[in-house]
Chains A and B, each alone.
Chain A
Amino acid sequence: MLPLRVRLRILLRLPLLQASWNYERMQSLGVLYVLYPALRFIYRDEDLVLACRRHLEYFNSHPFMAGPILGTTLALEEERSLHAEGSLDVGEFKGMIMAPFAAMGDAFFWGGLRPLSAALALLLAAAGFWWAPLAFLLLFNLPHGWALIAGLHGGYRYGPGMIERVQRYRLPDLAVRCKEGTALLLGALSAVLVADTLRGAEAATAWGPCALLPVLLLGGLARLGVSTLILILLMSAALLVFFG
């Protein structure tokens, strides 16, 4: 069993996984950096170099989902060092699991939780709460921190059984719920901003729902591939010509 100080060193290195992200093998050097304290504990001399080579192979997953993957990798490396029969090959395991875990992490953390946290923070800021950025950080980083710490610990403890445990959380379904929540919050935010702007301009409030038309039109243009930069610059130019 790896001592607690070695596991703590790995946990502290985990947030640096992407420090040397590159096009050739993406996070591979990061994986070696994170796992090195454990590899040095488990192996010596030539075996250590071979283990390092094994982890310098292509690796790319969601950085927050690397906790369970690398935790399980540690358990498998320990098994391997004991020459346990029937143990899963480490490289095979990483290659098999990195893409599905990346898809789950991208959908939940980037596609679901990040927009939800941002929409809530923007609504708080629109209501005049100065601590909106702190709320954003807290809402996003509680699950983030949990995924890193509990993921690494759980992966090491349960080995490949960790995959089933992660699946139980149904992250893709949670991501869909987060997106629906984001849509509701953005609807409320847009309504508040439109109402405040119309009131400031002393315009009739009946015009408010008309703001939905440019939103739908711009959304359609974005779907056709028009870039955000072009859309905001064109919209700003039009407003400057009309109101300026």
Chain B
Amino acid sequence: MAWSLDYLYAGLVSLLVGLDRTAVLQLLISRPIVAAPLTGWVLGDFPLGLQAGTLLELLWLGRLPVGAAIPPDDTQIAVGGTALALVMGAQAGAEGLPMLLLCLLVALPLGKCGQIFDHLARKGNGRLLIRAEQELTWQRPAAATRFHLLGLGFFALASLGTYLGIILSGSLLLPWLAPYLLAKVGDAAPWLALAFPLVGTAVFLGALRNRRILVLYLLAFLLVYFLREGF
């Protein structure tokens, strides 16, 4: 039952990095470039985690966590996708980039449920505010401030809920999808691995709507490409 321990360890990582997303510190260990390698390191394959992080990092980089806006949960996609690739890959004897890409493609749509759980956590926190106001009415200010820390519990549950959603759905879907898709993903793996950062870059540049920045991107691409490959 080593796989269940692996999912448990990855769950602890998901909790830690999930709290960093909004509730605590915001050191950005919740970004895929950190969360996925951390998961890989905990499960014994740091390079695969780093690869997952580099594939996912740019996809929602342009979505700002501003005000009431909740971006898709790329943190749990990174943790869940990496954990699925390592655990299910070891079970099926299909490790490496093709399995990782298949797991990420399965995990990507499931990350949308992270927005729902996050929304529920913020609704739950609204009830804590009401309780804190009641405590102030009863002249107990210290008790009022304690309700603030209970909000960590809601955010932690939201992170774990998303992680479990990805792991459970992935565990059901992957054994069914892998026989049909794994060979095809393997053939297209280098191009898929290129598509992830290019789509992320395109979305980032598109969101900026700035011609000068687009020109800088094009010039940097052409300069570096021809310096490497020769004119």
Contacts and interface: CB of A to CB of B under 8 A. Distances in A.
Interface string A228-243: 1101110110011011
B62 A36 contact: no
Given A110-B65, A191-B221, A33 B228 contact: no
B4 interface: no
Interface in B61-113: 61-68, 72, 105, 108-109, 112
Interface stretch (A75-83, A88-96, A161-169, A213-221): A213-221
B184 A122 contact: no
A212 interface: yes
Contacts of B37: 133
Contacts of B213: 179-180, 183
Contact of A114 (B28, B149, B187, B216): B28
Given A137-B28, A233-B105, A186 B67 contact: no
B225 A137 contact: no
Contacts of A72: none
**Could you tell me the dominant secondary structure of chain A's interface residues?**
helix
A232 B221 contact: no
Sorting the interface of chain A by its residue count into under 10, 10 to 19, 20 to 34 or 35 or more gives: 35 or more
A215 B197 CA distance: 10
- Kindly name the residue among B22, B33, B136, B142 whose own CB sees the greatest number of chain A CB atoms within 10 A: B33
Interface in B1-32: 22-29, 31
Contact of B126 (A24, A141, A209, A217): A24
B212 A187 contact: no
A187 B217 contact: yes
A212 B218 contact: yes
B72 A19 contact: no
A188 B198 contact: no
A240 B184 contact: yes
Given A29-B132, A32-B145, A191-B228, A239 B218 contact: no
Contacts of B187: 243-244
A42 interface: no
Contacts of B181: 240
B149 A193 contact: no
Contacts of A179: 208, 210, 213
Contact of A32 (B34, B148, B228): B148
Given A137-B34, A179-B208, A231-B199, 12 more contacts: A23-B68, A29-B125, A36-B142, A110-B66, A133-B53, A136-B28, A180-B212, A187-B220, A217-B202, A223-B207, A229-B108, A236-B195
Interface of A: 15-16, 18-26, 28-30, 32-33, 36, 39-40, 46, 48-49, 52-53, 56, 60, 63-64, 102, 106, 110-111, 114-115, 117-118, 121-122, 125-126, 130, 132-133, 136-137, 140-141, 144, 179-180, 182-195, 197, 200-201, 205, 208-209, 211-212, 214-223, 228-229, 231-233, 235-236, 239-240, 242-244
Shortest 8 CB-CB contacts between residues of A and residues of B: A187-B220, A244-B184, A20-B151, A219-B206, A218-B202, A222-B206, A22-B125, A243-B188
